[in-house]
Chains A and B, each alone.
Chain A
Amino acid sequence: MYRYDDIDREFLADRSAEFRDQVNRRLAGELTEDQFKPLRLMNGLYLQLHAYMLRIAIPYGSMDSRQLRKLAWIARKYDKGYGHFTTRTNLQFHWIKLADTPDILDHLASVDMHAIQTSGNCIRNTTADPYAGATPEEVDDPRVWSEAIRQWSSLHPEFSYLPRKFKIAITAAPKDRTAARVHDIGLAIKRNRKGDLGFEVMVGGGLGATPHVGPTIREFLPAEQLLSYLEAILRVYNRLGRRDNRTKARIKILVASLGAEEFGRQVEAEWAAIGAGSDLPAGEMARIRAAFATKTFETLPERSESFEVAKSADPAFARFVRNNVKAHRAPGYAIVEISLKAIGETPGDASADQMEVIADLGERYGQDDIRVTHEQNIVLPHVKLDDLPAVHAALAKAGLATPNINLISDIIACPGLDYCALANARAIPVAQHIAERFANQDRAELIGELKIKISGCINACGHHHVGHIGILGVDKKGEEFYQLTLGGSGAEDASVGKVLGPALPANRVAEAIDAMVDVYLSQRQTGERFLDTLRRTGPAPFKEAVYADAH
């Protein structure tokens, strides 16, 4: 994992001291709220319904046990003993006091963490495949490139005041676990026929009020030219983005209005003008790569007897393995997904105790490597098969062994009206009701992969547009209603869901999901996921089931 050097540390200390001074001046009345608000947002501090919210960057969702333990400690000391992992693989604390924030930033800096660029019209945290360095399908380690982007984009003066916020994702395997096509820039690492490393570059994806799946503007960009090409994209955006209209200011609107071809042409022209001077020197790239040097894995047999024995002896463990354990590239190892979607709990929340359990397990059994997924779960990417029974037992004891990864109860939900000042409606209780309705794990497994995503308003932090079933909270004269969308996907087969029909009151959402699941189960053909059946049949039978009693 990448370690900060002295310059990074000094910089964070300065930044934190600067914010301490700004907070003091605000509390003393020397700064007005209008002057102070942009300053606190630059440090990830929002004012929400009940308190301040601090959003902490977890670069490309990757951290170690020391960092996670510090987050747990902050949760206990300064919050109410928990934190919320977000779809941007960041962590939010929802009960923060302004006056405490400078101290919190110092504590974060002590473990090389901060909240810079978690808000504002700048380049935000890059999303990377949470299975980086572990999945056998990987073309190259996306963390190397994400770290290069992090260093390049951190406080980049040219890109600190973009027309709007800007999000980049890097997927490094054919299976996209980053929702790359709905980011401002999605990068897919590839090799060309000659075996050279490069990126497919997709630009202009995004969610929000006008969702777009990003078109590819370049099929193959030589990897070492990544930064100059990104610079060219951002320059075109900086120049032509709609600063005059906030709702049209994201790059997706620019790409859609120019057309992908013309946008791509302008980027290529800009790129030619920039030249190679903006690319990272090979030596620097090698330095970053060395920080992610391949872990040394023990030479183990493919098959672990103790693991097989535990699986046949303990059905709960076997179920966990079926759903939460994924293939690793090293024989005798596995990737473990820890679901933060315990039935009836808040999606993405982890208590301080749970964070410590995960930190301990990561340190003891997982090469001290911990990842956050954009689906609000945690990954231990390198666990020996031999150790899986012990890891499972410890997770179960901490309420962290819910075997539902990718199943119907593995729901994304934004904080919604329970916390967020912008929300129309709550998202968390809707997720809880649905999960409770499908608490029976046999049934959930029978249904198979089904991604439900819930947002409390059109800002779409809960990615509802790309849910197989999306749920959007809307405000009908002040009452919470929920609009369903069907057929979205954030994966490699990305698509934007279509609105099913009139919005439903809160108490009808879970039953509507149930009705659609019944349609799927009765209509599915062998091997079809919910999404596949829906794509084959179209929405009509689902719509009929949901609105049957309205006729």
Chain B
Amino acid sequence: MRALTANRLSDGEVVFWSQGRWVERFAEAQLFADEAAAAAEAAEGHAKTETKVVVEPYLIDLVESEGLWAPLSYRERIRALGPTNHPFHGKQSEGGAVIEALQHASGAARSKGRVDLIRRK
């Protein structure tokens, strides 16, 4: 399973793609099944044209956690939650089942966001 993420241009907020628009909550992100790779890549291709709205969109891999989905990479979980040193800053402050699933998720992978960033430098 995958989701599409980026940072919003105007304020840097982490956003996720959901049926034609960008949302702030990971809980509302559109999930792309592995079989629907073409749809995921089409969404990513479209996102790359939205240069007035977002910066550097990319697809992230997800992993199951407590019956829900969470980003596989730790970096992406921090993006979807907020910094671990300030539990009331960022998206995590809202709480809820999806936030908890993210907080309890395990699994690890290199983040494509970071790999891309370093390659571009």
Contact = CB atoms under 8 A, between A and B. Distances in A.
Interface residues of A, number: 36
A51 B84 contact: no
A240 to B, nearest CB: 22
A317 interface: no
A51 B12 contact: yes
Contacts of A346: 85-86
B11 A99 contact: yes
Contact of B85 (A52, A99, A418, A480): A418
Given A421-B117, A479-B74, A52 B110 contact: no
A477 B78 contact: no
B51 A33 contact: yes
Interface residues of B, number: 33
Contacts of A181: none
A396 interface: no
A32 B82 CA distance: 28
Interface string B12-25: 11100000000000
A25 to B, nearest CB: 11
B114 A421 contact: yes
Q: Interface on chain B toward A: helix, strand, loop, or mixed SS?
A: loop
B89 interface: yes
Contact of A97 (B11, B78, B108, B121): B11
B7 A47 contact: yes
Nearest to B81: A50
A255 B7 CA distance: 40
Interface in B1-39: 7, 9-14
Interface string B85-114: 110011000000000000000001111011
A113 interface: no
B108 A479 contact: yes
Nearest to A429: B84
A50 B83 contact: yes
Contact of A477 (B12, B13, B52, B108): B108
Contact of A478 (B56, B89, B110): B110
Interface in B58-92: 72-75, 78-79, 82-86, 89-90
A354 interface: no
B118 interface: yes
A51 B114 CA distance: 15
A529 B120 CA distance: 44
Contact of B12 (A29, A97, A480): A97
A97 B114 contact: no
A49 B79 contact: yes
Contacts of A503: none
Contact of A50 (B56, B73, B74, B79): B79
A422 B117 contact: yes
Contact of A426 (B11, B13, B84): B84
Given A50-B12, A475-B110, A480 B74 contact: yes
Contacts of A94: 83
B11 A51 contact: yes
A253 B13 CA distance: 38
A422 B11 contact: no
B13 A27 contact: no
Given A33-B51, A477-B108, A478-B109, A52 B11 contact: yes
A262 to B, nearest CB: 30
A99 B13 CA distance: 12
A98 B11 contact: yes
Which are the 9 A-B pairs with shortest beta-carbon distances?
A: A478-B108, A418-B83, A97-B11, A51-B12, A29-B52, A478-B109, A52-B12, A479-B108, A428-B85
23 contacts: A26-B9, A33-B56, A47-B12, A50-B12, A50-B13, A50-B89, A50-B90, A51-B11, A51-B12, A52-B12, A96-B12, A98-B10, A98-B12, A346-B85, A346-B86, A417-B74, A418-B78, A419-B83, A421-B113, A422-B114, A428-B85, A475-B110, A478-B108
Interface of B: 7, 9-14, 51-52, 55-56, 72-75, 78-79, 82-86, 89-90, 108-111, 113-114, 117-118, 121
Interface of A: 26-29, 32-33, 47-52, 80, 94-99, 246, 346, 417-419, 421-423, 426, 428-429, 432, 475, 477-480
